[in-house]
């Protein structure tokens, strides 16, 4: 609310915000459909007899002769006036629709800006800048669209994100192979100490909840760190992790690398819906870290069994039940589980948005204590915990609301 009031008082909206992108979307749709319908369609289906009715028997498909004549009168005669007339009419109709959809936006906007430049400054015998506001306003509108492009909510942006995701997927085998050949020789240059930590924020200005994964691996100490997080719509999440921390988002069932944190990113706000440049070296290092983290996990499993394996070995019965929220709207939940055979504070649990319709299935041994926390318990912060329940055999297939 404070940010909204501040934005109103400042009289501006930061580029890339949800407000900015929605306003630009509406502007682009209006400009495109208005020209397609008012300028293009009215000539594509034109009257045979101007004094006749609006019925189909008085409509013709194509370009009206009067428009062809006017195009020739202003000098567009090379090839033929008909050629330029057809280009103009279908440029208005098809180009306007493409601008509204945000597909081939810049190309369509450039040709429409050219057309309305002709209309504003060549078509009339005495064009008057700042007086022919209607035609010139349309011209500058398409100049703006040509400069900005489709914006976030466009088919151009959709296909660009899809292509970038596919490119990342295709690079994985190459990156892994190159990592195995190149990066082992760089081990001597790695620092023995933990890198400097970076504080940054991940924001989600969209109306869709996002599932992110924050990962870091220390190749010297063979230590992995990080956690998964459900980022609600129109919310943000503050993070403090070492340099070279990788942030992934779950897309189409797979976690795609979104960005890698550097020392220069301290205090930076990352929009999870944006596309960030990832260098070749960062791709290679990410693949190297993923490989080493998986290897370290397997080595640790041989000497340090998981809590599930420990529970089975000690004869604890595992109980599966569901946890959901109490409210209709999703709310971020932080749940910590104290295992019955763990003498120290367990970091087992989960963090995700829950509502009455959004449930999360869990499985814990009998005797486990389920705590609801008021914050992130896994990063050493002091948080308030409230005991929700103690797991017993009767909780099998039970539904617990937080």
pLDDT, one tens digit per residue, over 87-145 is: 888 888 888 899 999 999 999 999 989 888 887 777 665 555 555 567 788 888 889 99
Nearest CA among 364, 368, 367 for reference residue 319:
364
- The pair of structure tokens assigned to 29 is 């749709």
Query: Between vectors from CA 338 to CA 332 and to CA 339, what angle results, nearest 5°?
Result: 130
- How far is CA 262 from each of CA 222, 266, 268, rounded to the nearest angstrom? 20, 8, 10
List the alpha helices (DSSP H) in 122-264: 133-148, 155-182
User: Residues of 175-212 as b/e, b for ≥16 C-beta within 10 angstroms?
Assistant: bbebbeeebeeeeeeeeeeeeeebebebbbbbeebbeb
What is residue 1's DSSP assignment?
Answer: -
For 330-350, how does the pLDDT look when each residue is reduced to its tens digit (9 = 90+)? Answer: 888 889 999 998 888 887 888
pLDDT of residue 131: 54
Report yes or no on whether pTM surpasses 0.85.
no
Q: Is the pLDDT of residue 245 over 90?
A: yes
Residues contacting residue 310 through CB under 8 Å, at least 6 positions apart? 341
Class of residue 241 by CB neighbours under 10 A (exposed 0-12, middle 13-18, buried 19+): buried
Distance CA 335, CA 356 (A): 16
Say which residue, 191 or 86, is predicted with more confidence.
Answer: 86
What is residue 115's DSSP assignment?
Answer: H
β-sheet with 254-260: strand ranges across: 223-231, 210-218, 246-251, 254-260
Among 90-94, 146-150, 175-179, name the one with the lowest average pLDDT. Answer: 175-179
pLDDT of residue 192: 47
Which three-class secondary structure state does DSSP give residue 253?
coil
Say which residue, 43 or 236, is predicted with more confidence.
Answer: 236
Structural domains in the chain, CATH included, are 2-148 (no CATH), 158-303 (2.60.40), 309-401 (2.60.40)
Asked if residues 350 and 362 have their Cβ atoms less than 8 Å apart, the reply is: yes
Say which residue, 72 or 317, is predicted with more confidence.
Answer: 317
Nearest CA among 398, 386, 402, 395 for reference residue 366:
395
pLDDT of residue 9: 43
Residues contacting residue 51 through CB under 8 Å, at least 6 positions apart? none
Maximum C-alpha span of the chain: 94
Which three-class secondary structure state does DSSP give residue 160?
helix
């Amino acid at each position: 609310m404070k940010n909204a009031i501040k934005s109103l008082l400042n009289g501006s909206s930061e580029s890339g915000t949800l407000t900015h992108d929605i306003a630009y979307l509406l502007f682009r749709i209006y400009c495109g459909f208005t020209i397609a319908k008012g300028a293009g369609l009215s000539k594509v289906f034109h009257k045979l007899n101007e004094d006749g009715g609006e019925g189909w028997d008085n409509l013709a498909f194509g370009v009206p002769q009067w428009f062809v004549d006017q195009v020739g009168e202003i000098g567009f005669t090379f090839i033929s006036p008909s050629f330029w007339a057809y280009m103009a009419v279908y440029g208005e109709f098809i180009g306007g629709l493409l601008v509204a959809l945000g597909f081939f936006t810049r190309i369509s906007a450039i040709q429409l800006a050219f057309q309305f430049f002709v209309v504003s400054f060549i078509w009339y015998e005495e064009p008057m800048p700042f007086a022919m506001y209607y035609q010139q306003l349309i011209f500058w509108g398409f100049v703006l669209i040509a400069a900005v492009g489709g914006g976030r909510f466009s088919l151009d942006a959709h296909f660009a994100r899809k292509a970038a995701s596919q490119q990342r997927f295709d690079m994985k085998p190459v990156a892994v192979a190159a990592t195995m050949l190149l990066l082992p020789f760089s081990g001597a240059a790695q620092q023995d100490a933990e890198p400097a930590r970076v504080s940054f924020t991940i924001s989600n200005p969209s109306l869709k909840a996002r599932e992110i994964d924050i990962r870091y691996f220390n190749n010297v100490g063979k230590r992995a760190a990080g956690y998964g997080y459900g980022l609600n719509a129109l919310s943000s999440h503050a993070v403090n992790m070492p340099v070279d921390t990788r942030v992934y988002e779950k897309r189409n069932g797979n976690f795609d690398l979104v960005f890698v944190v550097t020392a220069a990113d301290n205090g930076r706000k990352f929009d999870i819906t944006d596309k960030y440049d990832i260098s070749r070296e960062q791709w290679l290092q990410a693949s190297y870290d993923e490989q080493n983290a998986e290897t370290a996990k397997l080595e640790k499993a041989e000497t340090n069994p998981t809590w599930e394996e420990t529970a089975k070995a000690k004869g604890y019965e595992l109980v599966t039940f569901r946890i959901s929220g109490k409210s209709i709207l999703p709310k971020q939940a932080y749940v910590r589980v104290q295992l019955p055979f763990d003498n120290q504070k367990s970091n087992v649990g989960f963090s995700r948005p829950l509502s009455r319709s959004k449930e999360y299935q869990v499985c814990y041994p009998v005797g486990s204590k389920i705590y609801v926390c008021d914050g992130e318990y896994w990063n050493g912060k002091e948080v308030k915990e409230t005991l929700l329940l103690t797991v017993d055999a009767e909780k099998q297939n039970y539904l617990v609301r937080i």
